[in-house]
């Protein structure tokens, strides 16, 4: 399947498929893991060899690679080390590297938001002075601070100024070097072989309790943990403004005889006012009964967390980790790297994203009130919200034109105004009121351009819907993007047709002709003279109705207006060396409509059809379907000569098939 995806990406978009295999060392250093690594490398090598547009990137610790290298074949080593050569990543970054990685992300973010990125100021709007203070720091530290900066800007609605946290400058000696050495020792301990993980629920619960203490130390949280009782660990974690009380239990029993459900119900009853958290080191069982039990837990405000074997092994290794450094150094490393609280299952158990302390609000000040609104608009939303916005748009959050869905029949063609409004409410709790595409553009554009620029921008952009981010911002696509194939995906009733009609009507307002192929009859209502009346904006809809000329074709039926398309291509303007290919295209298309199979009989009829189209295209006249049928009925001599054979049954069958079409 990966090979097919790579070929599809190249054929459809001339794009490469990049396979990123990261943190391979998490699989462990055991012999079985090394064998799996070798098989994975062989598989990736096979894929990139067969599909030149596929690119594989493998990232792992050097310790693992040196251990696994002896197990690799010579060809695999040559491919990994020489084509292209190995890239060794350093732990700490200088400012030029920081500028490159931040600038790359900002350029993508600007492009997604429709703003202009200026390479001469690669890190704008992030303050360069503050970013330079991260020289010599790790990549993760830099990106986490940038993410914090973006989140604070989004919360404040403008560019803000936040402090760069100090890195234990008060500690004597070479702090950064010691912290890096501790980090290296932790990597070794984390991936040490033969790390035994517990399977007893009480022992696992003790490991979770130790993880709670580690999270509190790493994030500066307060922690209260009374003794465990009846298999439930009660934890109270407090931040600067938030406090959460958790009741955690390990629920590893199977679904047989309702054992798993009994554990979940007992946890829910025991939790009381605390948040119940069900932890499993095995996959949660599926089935109607188990799903209902878990649903009750979630409806009660609880959570479920799957702690995989790798995470559990890491927690056990952390309990045993005793580096040969002063306690102050180890504490500084834990605050810097946060080795436990950055584990996704652990962060989910303790809801750390909500509890982590944020800088005080009074310390956040506006950098300048004169910053371009386009940049402020970019900073208001994290990068991950672009895809969310597109999903919310396809769910029905469309422009007013989207609510003007024409009715195919008066009986069951109800208006979709309520559907679009309901979907919009699902997409965002505070949506932007609908406005015509011809009105003023998005706020970020209006703040930086005059009326003429806004009108020009509106003419080039089509409004899709609103985002589901911090605020309901308009989502638009460029008109030129519809020059390529576009797909709208969604579940039944999610508003796919509504969104398509929204785009179609906006295109019509820009004097672009549209051909609609309507399989279900949903779009035929445009032929009704009064289609524009059942809309949320009748004035705008009437203006559109007065400007367009709707013509309804009814192919395949004897009534109405037939669709007359030339089955024979006009070869007058086509170069001679291209004519045979165009004739073949026409014959294949017509043969597909006639369902000519790959049997000997089907191939013979397709050969006659190809010669007939070629002969008809070379003669004067338009070459309609009736002309093609007449040529076959008359048993044209030139056609029989070109076909090289004559079988009256094939000619009769072709005529019958064409007349049915």
Within a domain: 567 = no
Better-scored residue on pLDDT, 351 or 445: 351
Q: Across 56-65, 296-305, 390-399, 550-559, which has the greatest mean pLDDT? A: 296-305
Is 487 a residue whose pLDDT tops 70?
Answer: yes
Largest CA distance in the chain: 102
Average pLDDT over residues 392-409: 33
Between CA 456 and CA 441 the distance in angstroms is 9
Between CA 444 and CA 447 the distance in angstroms is 5
**What is the domain extent for residue 43?**
2-81
Counting the structural domains of the chain, the total is 4
If DSSP codes are grouped into helix, strand and coil, which group holds residue 567? coil
Sequence-separated (6 or more) residues with CB below 8 Å from residue 86 = 80
Between CA 211 and CA 234 the distance in angstroms is 13
The verdict on 542 and 429 lying in the same domain is yes
Within a domain: 571 = no
Average pLDDT over residues 360-368: 34
pLDDT digits (tens, 9 = 90+) for 647-658: 788 888 888 888
Percentage above 70 pLDDT, the chain: 75
The verdict on 311 and 415 lying in the same domain is no
**What local confidence, expressed as pLDDT, does residue 373 receive?**
32
Question: Strands 137-138 and 92-93: what pairing?
Answer: antiparallel
CB of 591 within 8 A of CB of 657?
no
The verdict on 400 and 348 lying in the same domain is no
Average pLDDT over residues 505-511: 86
**What local confidence, expressed as pLDDT, does residue 246 receive?**
92
CB of 197 within 8 A of CB of 185?
no
What does the block give as tokens for 415? 């208006």
Of 562, 563, 653, 658, which is closest to residue 616 (Cα–Cα)? Answer: 658
**What local confidence, expressed as pLDDT, does residue 425 receive?**
34
Is 173 a residue whose pLDDT tops 60?
Answer: no
Average pLDDT over residues 333-339: 88
Is 174 a residue whose pLDDT tops 70?
Answer: no
Between CA 451 and CA 322 the distance in angstroms is 66
The verdict on 183 and 319 lying in the same domain is yes
The verdict on 220 and 353 lying in the same domain is yes
Domain edge (last residue) among 81, 99, 131: 81
Q: Across 107-116, 440-449, 451-460, 573-582, which has the greatest mean pLDDT? A: 107-116
Is 403 a residue whose pLDDT tops 70?
Answer: no
Q: What angle do CA 461, 462, 467 make, to 5 degrees?
A: 105
Average pLDDT over residues 377-393: 31
If DSSP codes are grouped into helix, strand and coil, which group holds residue 404? coil
CB of 394 within 8 A of CB of 497?
no
Torsion of CA 643, 649, 652, 653, to 10 degrees: -90
Within a domain: 133 = no
Better-scored residue on pLDDT, 661 or 166: 661
Is 118 a residue whose pLDDT tops 50?
Answer: yes
Dump the DSSP string for 60-129. Answer: --HHHHHHHHTTS-HHHHHHHHBTTB--PPPSEE-HHHHHHHHHHHHHHHHHHHTPPP-TTSTTTTS-HH
pLDDT band at 315 (very low <50, low <70, confident <90, very high): very high
Within a domain: 159 = no
Between CA 346 and CA 51 the distance in angstroms is 39
The verdict on 335 and 395 lying in the same domain is no
Between CA 49 and CA 645 the distance in angstroms is 46
Between CA 12 and CA 3 the distance in angstroms is 14
Would you give the DSSP letter of residue 165?
Answer: P
What does the block give as tokens for 651? 């000619």
The number of beta carbons lying within 10 Å of the beta carbon of residue 472 is 21
Phi, psi of 258 (to 5 degrees): 75, 20
**What local confidence, expressed as pLDDT, does residue 278 receive?**
92
Sequence-separated (6 or more) residues with CB below 8 Å from residue 26 = 191, 310
pLDDT digits (tens, 9 = 90+) for 281-291: 988 888 888 88
If DSSP codes are grouped into helix, strand and coil, which group holds residue 581? helix
Within a domain: 653 = yes
Kindly tell me the number of DSSP H helices and DSSP E strands found in the chain.
27, 13
Helices (H), 461-525: 496-509
**What local confidence, expressed as pLDDT, does residue 621 receive?**
61
Is 423 a residue whose pLDDT tops 70?
Answer: no
Dump the DSSP string for 436-455. Answer: -TTS---HHHHTTS-HHHHH
Work out the burial of residue 282: count CB atoms within 10 Å of its CB; fewer than 13 is exposed, 13-18 middle, 19 or more buried.
Answer: middle
| Residue ranges of E strands in 254-333 | 275-280, 303-306
Out of 264-268, 368-372, 507-511, least confident range: 368-372
Q: Omega into 11 within 30° of 0, i.e. cis? A: no
Better-scored residue on pLDDT, 613 or 642: 613
Within a domain: 471 = yes
Mean per-residue pLDDT over the chain, rounded: 73
| Residue ranges of E strands in 179-309 | 222-224, 233-238, 243-250, 275-280, 303-306
Better-scored residue on pLDDT, 212 or 45: 212
If DSSP codes are grouped into helix, strand and coil, which group holds residue 633? helix
Of 633, 628, 603, which is closest to residue 617 (Cα–Cα)? Answer: 628
The verdict on 408 and 322 lying in the same domain is no
The verdict on 230 and 311 lying in the same domain is yes
Question: Strands 275-280 and 243-250: what pairing?
Answer: parallel
The verdict on 282 and 429 lying in the same domain is no
Phi, psi of 488 (to 5 degrees): -120, 115
Percentage above 90 pLDDT, the chain: 4
Within a domain: 321 = yes
Out of 408-422, 462-476, 498-512, least confident range: 408-422
pLDDT band at 279 (very low <50, low <70, confident <90, very high): very high
Q: Omega into 219 within 30° of 0, i.e. cis? A: no
The verdict on 291 and 401 lying in the same domain is no
pLDDT band at 248 (very low <50, low <70, confident <90, very high): very high
Within a domain: 564 = no
The verdict on 446 and 324 lying in the same domain is no
Tally the residues of the chain: 661
Question: Crossing angle of helices 31-50/74-81, nearest 10°?
Answer: 70
The verdict on 487 and 622 lying in the same domain is no
Between CA 402 and CA 405 the distance in angstroms is 6
pLDDT digits (tens, 9 = 90+) for 550-585: 887 776 665 666 666 666 667 666 777 777 888 888
pLDDT band at 48 (very low <50, low <70, confident <90, very high): confident
What does the block give as tokens for 386? 């672009």
Between CA 584 and CA 606 the distance in angstroms is 10
Between CA 264 and CA 269 the distance in angstroms is 9
């Amino acid at each position: 399947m990966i090979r097919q995806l790579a070929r599809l990406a190249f054929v459809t978009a001339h794009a490469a498929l990049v396979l990123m295999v990261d943190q391979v060392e998490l699989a462990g250093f055991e012999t079985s893991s090394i064998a799996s690594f070798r098989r994975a490398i062989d598989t990736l090598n096979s894929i990139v060899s067969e599909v030149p547009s596929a690119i594989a990137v493998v990232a792992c610790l050097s310790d693992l690679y040196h251990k696994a290298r002896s197990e690799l074949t010579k060809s695999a080593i040559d491919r990994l080390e020489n084509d292209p050569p190995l890239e060794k990543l350093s732990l700490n970054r200088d400012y030029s590297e920081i500028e490159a990685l931040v600038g790359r992300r900002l350029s993508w973010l600007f492009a997604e938001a429709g703003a202009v990125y200026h390479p001469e100021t690669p890190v704008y709007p992030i303050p360069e002075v503050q970013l330079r203070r991260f020289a010599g720091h790790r990549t993760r530290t830099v990106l986490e601070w940038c993410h914090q900066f973006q989140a604070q800007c989004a919360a404040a609605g403008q560019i803000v100024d936040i402090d760069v946290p100090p890195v234990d400058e008060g500690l004597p000696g070479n702090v950064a070097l010691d912290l890096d050495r501790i980090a290296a020792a932790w990597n070794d301990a984390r991936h040490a072989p033969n790390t035994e993980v517990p399977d007893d629920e009480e022992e696992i619960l003790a490991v979770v309790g130790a993880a709670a203490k580690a999270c509190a130390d790493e994030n500066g949280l307060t922690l209260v943990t009374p003794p465990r009782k009846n298999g439930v660990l009660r934890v109270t974690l407090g931040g600067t403004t938030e406090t959460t009380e958790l009741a955690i239990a390990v629920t590893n029993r199977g679904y047989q005889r309702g054992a798993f459900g009994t554990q979940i119900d007992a946890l829910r009853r025991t939790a009381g006012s605390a948040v119940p958290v069900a932890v499993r080191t095995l996959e949660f069982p599926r089935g109607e009964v188990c799903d209902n039990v878990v649903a009750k837990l979630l409806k009660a405000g609880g959570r479920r967390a799957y702690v995989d074997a790798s995470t559990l092994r890491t927690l056990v290794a952390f309990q045993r980790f005793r580096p040969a450094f002063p306690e102050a150094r180890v504490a500084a490393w834990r605050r810097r790297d946060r080795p436990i609280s950055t584990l996704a299952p652990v962060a989910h158990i303790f809801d750390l994203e909500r509890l982590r302390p944020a800088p005080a609000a009074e310390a956040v000040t506006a950098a300048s009130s004169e910053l371009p609104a386009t940049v402020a608009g970019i900073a208001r939303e994290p990068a991950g919200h672009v895809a969310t916005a597109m999903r919310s748009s396809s769910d029905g959050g469309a422009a007013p034109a989207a609510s003007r869905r024409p009715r195919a029949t008066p009986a069951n063609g109800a208006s979709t105004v309520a559907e679009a409004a309901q979907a919009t409410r699902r997409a965002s709790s505070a949506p932007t009121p609908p406005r015509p595409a011809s009105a003023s553009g998005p706020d970020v554009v209006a703040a930086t351009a005059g009326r003429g620029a806004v009108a020009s921008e509106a003419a080039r952009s089509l409004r899709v819907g609103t985002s589901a981010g911090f605020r309901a911002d308009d989502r638009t696509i460029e008109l030129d993007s519809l020059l390529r194939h576009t797909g709208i995906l969604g579940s039944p009733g999610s508003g796919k047709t509504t969104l398509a009609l929204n785009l179609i009507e906006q295109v019509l307002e820009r004097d672009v002709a549209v051909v609609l192929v309507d399989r279900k009859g949903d779009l035929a209502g445009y032929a009704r003279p009064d289609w524009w009346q059942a809309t949320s904006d009748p004035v705008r809809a009437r203006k559109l109705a007065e400007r367009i000329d709707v013509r309804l074709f009814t192919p395949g039926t004897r009534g109405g207006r037939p669709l007359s398309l030339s089955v024979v291509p006009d070869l007058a303007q086509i170069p001679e060396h291209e004519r045979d290919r165009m004739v073949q295209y026409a014959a294949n298309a017509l043969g597909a409509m006639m369902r000519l199979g790959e049997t000997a009989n089907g191939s013979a009829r397709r050969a006659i059809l190809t010669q007939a189209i070629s002969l008809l295209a070379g003669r004067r006249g338009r070459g309609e379907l009736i002309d093609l049928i007449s040529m076959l009925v008359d048993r044209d001599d030139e056609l029989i000569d070109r076909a090289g054979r004559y079988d009256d049954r094939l000619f009769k069958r072709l005529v019958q098939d064409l007349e049915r079409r």
